[in-house]
Amino acid sequence: MKVKKFVAPSMNEAMKMVRAELGRDAVILHSKEIQTGGLFGLFAKKKIEVLAGIDPDPLPRRASEAKAPASSRPAGREEADGLLAAELREVKALVRQMAGRTSSLLYPPPLMDAERRLLQQGLADGYIRQVMDRLLERWYADKKERSAAAVAGWAKEAVRDLLSPLPFAETAGTKKYRLLLGPTGVGKTTTLAKMAGRAVLEHEKKVGFITTDTYRIAAIDQLKTYAHILQAPLEVCYNADDFRAAKQRLADCDVVFIDTAGRNFRNPHYVAELQQTIEFDSETETFLVFAATGKYNDMKAIYDRFSVLPIDRLIVTKLDETDTYGAVVNFLLESRVGVAYLTNGQNVPDDMVEASADRFVHLLFGADRW
């Protein structure tokens, strides 16, 4: 790739210079406003500095050359391939040096749409850069297929590869006691009812409920309603003795769903009370619930506060109340904790699905909710 810097009084003038020297296929890699001339910082003139590059297609191979064995091909072609790879590495390094963060001015136009989408979704700069590095490599490696649809497919594949190592729903929901933790207002009780409803309707399990949320009468009444509909027993616990007795009374249930109080997670006494009341043993699967509408810093704070407890999976709620999911993805990639379920409404038990890398890709790129 041939890369050159141009300085002009305006962007229009700069583009004329780029086209005159590099041709119409040139790509704008970076542009910025600079100050030139003047004295002691005074009377300086504003100009535009543009970094542009051109990647000329190699000459088509002759038929005889294409049929020739690798050992008989000219060494010059291997050298050219090596030079092209080296130039691509140099351009990527230059891009990083000139931009403190990802900027759509750095990429060919078809790649800008993918980058713009990820920026709008709030994906962190470091993860966007990883995705764009993949796209840039494929852009220069595959000169035949550079359509918008192809680039979108590359971007989705790159994001999917980032998320795929995380544990999602494959091993979730296998233990008898399934406990939901989380701050107030994230929809723990409704989500618990969805999980119980699926266990009864889809898997014909006998279920029971335990609640330690004795701070809100309305919460107990809500869970009583769900328990009545599912014809399931409900136990209310105030302390560790109540909890152990409740487990004994529900011993004949296939699955027991445990609801906890939704209080201010920033209060360290809240988590201490949970530790004193609930038995976190090998038969218990613990889900931390937070809302997709939350900020990244809040998600991290919630996780940090509850991380003293054995968290197995996350559940993300309220996906229907936002259109941006980058904060959730940022948190997952940093914490390396997988998600078991996603919820997108209040309907019990319908508005819940098992989480996967593909579902997050669909959400980030604006496809159907599920």
What domains sit in the chain, N to C, each tagged with a CATH number? Answer: 1-62 (no CATH), 99-163 (no CATH), 177-364 (3.40.50.300)
pLDDT for 254: 95
Asked if residue 201 lies in contact with residue 193, where contact means CB atoms within 8 angstroms, the answer is no
pLDDT for 137: 85
| Residue 283: DSSP 8-state | T
pLDDT for 366: 79
Tell me how far apart the alpha carbons of residues 69 and 189 are, in angstroms, rounded to a whole number. 68
pLDDT for 287: 93
Beta bridge partners of 290: 316
Cis ω before 165 (30° cut-off from 0)? no
Beta bridge partners of 2: 54
* Residues in CB range of 89: below 8 A, 6 or more apart: none
* One-letter identity of residue 151: V
Tell me how far apart the alpha carbons of residues 11 and 32 are, in angstroms, rounded to a whole number. 10
The two tokens of residue 294 are 């939350």
pLDDT for 268: 66
In the block, tokens 């043993």 appear at 281
262: how many CB neighbours lie within 10 A of its CB?
22
Q: Which parts of the chain have pLDDT scores under 50?
A: 58-59, 61-68, 100-105, 368-370
* Residues in CB range of 319: below 8 A, 6 or more apart: 292, 325, 342, 343, 344, 363, 369
Which H, E and C letters describe 27-82, residue by residue?
EEEEEEEEEECCECCECCEEEEEEEEEECCCCCCCCHHHHHCCHHHCCHHHHHHHH
pLDDT for 5: 85
pLDDT for 128: 93
Coil, helix or strand at residue 169:
coil
pLDDT for 148: 86
- Helix (H) or strand (E) holding 299, with range, is helix 296-306
Tell me how far apart the alpha carbons of residues 232 and 287 are, in angstroms, rounded to a whole number. 21
pLDDT in tens, 183-239: 888 889 899 999 999 999 988 999 999 998 876 667 688 889 999 999 999 999 988
pLDDT for 81: 62
